């Protein structure tokens, strides 16, 4: 059956879509989106985005791998792949009454790479999220050049990242795959392969809807760039080390003397976190790392 362009209906009762009134300005919702650190999307807004993305995933690909390009075609969104130096990963533009997505192979390398799929999903987020699309059409915001490295603090880019994760890894399917599975690198790798997503994107999806609370920390040259925590992770605050990786951790050993571990290692909670309501050297956690030697970068998982 030929897919049709999405026209959002007026739904009522249990079918009512979770989205804000169309007249809300895109940048007028910042205070609702962010917590005091200005970094995390609110739980309500996550639910809005996840429901919207899952609806689209199930409409077009209810039982198969999500193909963002096909979703674009079926909604009249044109796109092209080209070489645009290092200016962006992807960019969506509204011009002459239509939307067009530019995909930058200088950074994405291949059209079918996990990073390319995520970037395409990110740009679709700017189209399908009402506030983003309306702002673009009205000219209240410029075209969105996006760099999908998860480091942005821009609420609009954070939302598009979350949309892409939710589109490529729909919540119901992802939760089913995680059900009764112990947290492990092997599980993350298996999910990454199934959904054809990067390990980092898969980890961040697990942070939000996995069945075990975890923390993901990105660091480079011993400096903490960002961290994501599951809402129910017990320890909320990293140690106050001026954004430096504590050297007593598994990650710290890599930066100190390039020592690598291939399996989870036991650490004490106070090695990474502040305000521990346990006696020292009594509460243990698991720490495991993905090492990226070419960039002197580490993705750390703690659970």
Any idea where the domains of the chain sit in the sequence?
A: 20-173, 213-302
How many CA atoms does the CB half-sphere of 129 hold within 13 Å? 33
β-pairing verdict for 265-268 and 98-104: unpaired
Q: What pLDDT is stored for residue 13 in this prediction?
A: 42
Q: What pLDDT is stored for residue 21 in this prediction?
A: 27
48-92 residue pLDDT tens: 999 999 999 999 999 999 999 999 999 999 999 999 998 899 999
258-290 residue pLDDT tens: 999 999 999 999 999 999 999 999 999 999 999
Residue with tokens 């059409």: 137
Coil/strand/helix, residue 265? strand
Give φ, ψ of 298 to 5 degrees: -135, 135
For the chain, the average pLDDT equals 87
pLDDT at 33 over 70: no
Overall pTM surpassing 0.85 (yes/no): no
Tokens in use for 94? 């509204």
pLDDT at 19 over 70: no
Q: How confident is the model at residue 144 (pLDDT cuts 50, 70, 90)?
A: low
């Amino acid at each position: 059956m030929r897919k049709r362009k999405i026209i959002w209906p007026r739904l009522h009762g249990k079918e009512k879509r979770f989205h804000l009134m169309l007249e809300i300005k895109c940048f007028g919702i910042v205070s609702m989106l962010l917590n005091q650190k200005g970094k995390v999307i609110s739980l309500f807004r996550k639910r809005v985005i996840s429901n919207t993305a899952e609806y689209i995933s199930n409409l077009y690909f209810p039982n198969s791998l999500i193909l963002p390009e096909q979703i674009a075609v079926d909604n009249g969104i044109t796109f092209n792949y080209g070489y645009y130096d290092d200016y962006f990963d992807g960019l969506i533009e509204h011009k002459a009454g239509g939307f067009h997505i530019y995909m930058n192979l200088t950074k994405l390398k291949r059209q079918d790479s996990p990073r390319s799929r995520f970037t395409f999903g990110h740009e679709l987020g700017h189209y399908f999220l009402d506030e983003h699309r309306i702002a673009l059409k009205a000219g209240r915001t410029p075209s969105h050049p996006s760099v999908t490295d998860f480091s942005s603090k821009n609420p609009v880019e954070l939302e598009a990242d979350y949309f892409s994760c939710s589109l490529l890894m729909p919540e119901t399917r992802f939760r089913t795959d995680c059900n009764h599975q112990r947290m492990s690198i092997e599980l993350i790798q298996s999910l990454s392969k199934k959904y054809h997503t990067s390990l980092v994107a898969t980890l961040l999806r697990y942070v939000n809807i996995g069945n075990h609370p975890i923390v993901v920390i990105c660091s480079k040259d011993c400096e903490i760039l960002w961290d994501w925590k599951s809402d129910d992770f017990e320890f909320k605050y990293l140690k106050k080390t001026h954004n430096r990786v504590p050297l007593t951790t598994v990650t710290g050993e890599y930066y100190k003397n390039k020592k690598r571990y291939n399996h989870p290692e036991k650490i004490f909670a106070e090695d990474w976190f502040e305000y521990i309501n346990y006696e020292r050297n009594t509460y243990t956690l698991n720490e495991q790392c993905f090492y990226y030697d070419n960039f002197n970068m580490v993705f750390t998982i703690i659970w």
